Each structure stands twice: as C-alpha cells, then as structure tokens.
Amino acid sequence: MTKQFDTIIENIGQLLTMDHGDGPLKGKEMSELPVLTNAAIGINEGLIDWIGTHEEAQSHKATERIDAEGKLVTPGLVDPHTHLVFGGSREHEMALKQQGVPYLEILKRGGGILSTVGATREASEEELLKKARFHLDRMISYGVTTVEAKSGYGLDKETELKQLRVTKKLNEEHAADLVSTFLGAHAIPPEYKERSGEFLQEMLDMLSDIEKEDLAEFVDIFCETGVFTVEQSRRFLKAAKEKGFSVKIHADEIDPLGGTEMATEIGATSGDHLVGASDKGIQALGETDTIAVLLPGTSFYLNKGKFANARGMLEAGAAVALSTDFNPGSSPTENLQFIMSLASLQLKMTPEEIWNAVTVNSSYAINRGDQAGKLKEGRKADIVLWDAPNYHYIPYHYGVNHTDTVMKNGRIIYRKEKLHEQ
C-alpha cells in the first residue's frame, strides 16, 4: 500500500537503528549492533513514521527524497557530559601543562576551573549565550543532536543561575536538545577557602531556586583531591536526590578516591571519568544501574598516560557511555567522533560497543533513553547521514568530520560544506 511522507531517506547502505530493546546496554549486550542494509526511512511531521528497504521505498511517495548514496545512516549522537556554558578560554595554560605542572596544581594556584570562574562571572548572560551557541552549533556539525550541559563556573548563586538560564534559553531556541546539570560543587571559590562545608551548604540552598525556575534535572559534584571528599560528595548528592534531582558525579578522574563505589551506593545515574576506579568500584558498576560515562579525551589531554579500564568494566557487566567532556581546560573539543577514535585506540572498545556508547547508553546517562539515541517509528527524526561507507569507518579515520547531513526533528540543520567551484 502506497504511503505518503514528508521526507524519505533512501539508498541507505548501512542503517544503525540502535533499536535493540529498552534500557541501557550492559557488558556483552554492548557488542550487539543490529545493522539494516539497503534501507530507507519515511518521516512525517518530524517523526520517524516507517523504516524499511530501499525497494519498498520506491512504492511510497514523498515531498522530499534524500539519496544516502549507499552510505551510513545513524541516530543523532548524544553527548552526555559537557561544560558547554563558560566565559573565556585557557590556552595560556598549555605552557604550564608542557612544563609538567599537574592539573590539580594549576587549580591550587588559582588557575584552571577558577580561571574560567573569573571569566564567567564577568561575562553577561547574553555573552555566555552567544558563546555557548557557537560551541553547540559545532557539536551539531559533528553529528550530535542531544547534549548535557553543566553549570559550575560561577561558584556563587548569581553566576550559577546565570549559566543555568543560558542552558534553558538555548534548549528553548536551539535545534539541539539540551539536558541541564547543576555543578555548583565544581571547585572551592577563594572566598570559601578552608570552608568547603559551608560552601557546599550554600550550593545546596540554591536547589529550591533551581527547582522553581526549572533550571536543572541533574546535580553533579567534582569528587577529587583538593576539591570535595567522597564523604562530602555522598552527603551532597544524597541531599540533592532527596530534593528530587537525579545525580551524577565526577569521580576518580585524577586520584583514585573511591568515588566510583560511592556513586553506585547512592544510585547515581552515572559516574563520570572513573580513570582510577578500583576493582571494587568496577564490580559495583557491573552489579548496579549506574552508567560509566568515560571521557578518553580528558585522559588524552591531561597526558597522564592512564585511561579508564573500559574492558574491565564491560567484562564486569557495566553499561558504558562516551562523551567529549567539552570544557576550556581538560578537554577543549566538541568532536565526539574523535572521542570514538580514542575509545577504540585507548579504551580498546570495539566499533559496536562505541556506537552503543554514543547513542543508546549516552542517552540513558542523561535520562533521555526514551527520546534520543535510537531510530524507531514514533521517535523524533534526529538522524545523521555520514560521508562514510560503514560504521567501522568513523572510529578508524580520526580527527576529521565525517558528517554529511544532520537532521533534527525531520529538518536538515547541517549540511557538509562543499568545496567552492574551482
């Protein structure tokens, strides 16, 4: 029976629907990857209305037909851990990094996060919005259609709310879907030196304002040497959970403090970084629903020669997701495709695991498993057409942008620039 669509995407060489059951994929499940060949998608009113073969598509009608030229088509990627909204930049710290000054030492000297805090406090809401929009546009160009965005460069009520309002405005006006996280517990501001407990209480007191303005779904904390202890983090996140927020945590990024175990004990939606996760922590990830969000770009950039034990987590049965950790200090890149290459080279993840980690699992890591990261009838038509012959090709060919066309809610929002006529 002939169907009528707004848009048909046809002649798809490889279609990754990521439609393999509900819930995040854990352990061995991450090796599964249903691939449809010679496929087609029918779209109506911004939603996926039909998925079938190229031959079947020839009997259907469409206002617009897009030829995928036998190449790869996937869901829009989901980046579950970014510090998208900030002022200034930290290129001046490269020299310190090259001299071997550690990340935590730069922070201790008042640089790092605190340097960005200064720039963010000074920037107006409009300036922060303009800058975040620029970085978000670039994420879209890399095939990302859903993004988590954290605050955490204010460390005072006024600036934290300013950052969160920017994320809310972007989510309302920009094509991308944003998920907002309050990371007021990102570092100890100079005015609270030696008074970290009082500072955390001030951040907790903000939660009612955040809830009133619907400015965040998640609460996060930087559990790290010289920042917040495991016990402070446990108390802080449990208090946030009691107020109805979902929680995630920057854990075991640099020093192995045991934040991974604590994340699983309190039922965090995700534990992020986990480079120093202990065997006990890895086992706990396999036994609970806490998703391991791994950030190999940060390990690459901090240049400490150590990456998260992804293989150990997968063998333990954990759900693993991947992210850029886009931020001005430890991972200044919007390129989730490059993270896919690092996941292959440094985390030893297979292409199948990698694709599940940047779609299905990354969507569940930000409570969007029912809306993003999967192509199935009734879901938003958030789709990427890749200039690549198959899904192995993206992690293999690194450092470039492989997107050809990015579609959000059935509307083309990015097309690869073609070289001007010679």
Ligand X SMILES: O=C(O)CC1=NCN=C1
Q: Which residues form the interface with Zn ion (CB under 5 A)?
A: 325
Taking the complex as a whole, the smallest distance from the CB of residue 327 to Zn ion amounts, in Å, to 6
Tokens 């050809």 found at: 404
Q: Which is nearer to Zn ion, 46 or 88 (CB)?
A: 88
Examine residue 13 and tell whether it contacts ligand X (CB under 6 A): no
The interface region with ligand X, picked from 8-16, 22-30, 112-120, 211-219 by CB under 6 A, is 112-120
Examine residue 111 and tell whether it contacts ligand X (CB under 6 A): no
Taking the complex as a whole, the smallest distance from the CB of residue 419 to Zn ion amounts, in Å, to 36
Which one among 112, 143, 184, 332 touches ligand X, defined by CB under 6 A?
Answer: 112
Residues numbered 14-33 forming contacts with ligand X, rule: CB under 6 A = none
**Contacts (Cβ under 8 Å, ≥6 apart) of 45:** 6, 410
Which one among 329, 332, 373, 410 touches ligand X, defined by CB under 6 A?
Answer: 329
Contact string (CB under 6 A) for ligand X, positions 227-266, x = contact:
-----------------------x--x-------------
Q: Which is nearer to ligand X, 33 or 155 (CB)?
A: 155
Q: How far is CA 150 from the centre of its chain?
A: 10
Q: Which is nearer to ligand X, 151 or 359 (CB)?
A: 151
The interface region with ligand X, picked from 135-143, 258-266, 307-315, 324-332 by CB under 6 A, is 324-332
**Which partner in ligand X, Zn ion, none is near 328 (CB below 5 to 8 A by kind)?**
ligand X
Which one among 13, 281, 328, 332 touches ligand X, defined by CB under 6 A?
Answer: 328
Q: How many CB atoms lie within 10 A of CB 283?
A: 19
Backbone angles phi, psi at 293, to 5 degrees: -95, 110
Examine residue 116 and tell whether it contacts ligand X (CB under 6 A): yes
Q: Which is nearer to ligand X, 127 or 255 (CB)?
A: 255
Which one among 330, 344, 359, 363 touches ligand X, defined by CB under 6 A?
Answer: 330
Which one among 72, 84, 113, 318 touches ligand X, defined by CB under 6 A?
Answer: 113
How far is residue 202's CA from residue 281's CA, in Å, rounded to a whole number? 30
Taking the complex as a whole, the smallest distance from the CB of residue 57 to ligand X amounts, in Å, to 46
The interface region with ligand X, picked from 24-32, 238-246, 285-293, 325-333 by CB under 6 A, is 325-333
How far is residue 325's CA from residue 374's CA, in Å, rounded to a whole number? 22
- Residues contributing to the site for ligand X (CB under 6 A): 83, 112-113, 116, 222, 250, 253, 327-330
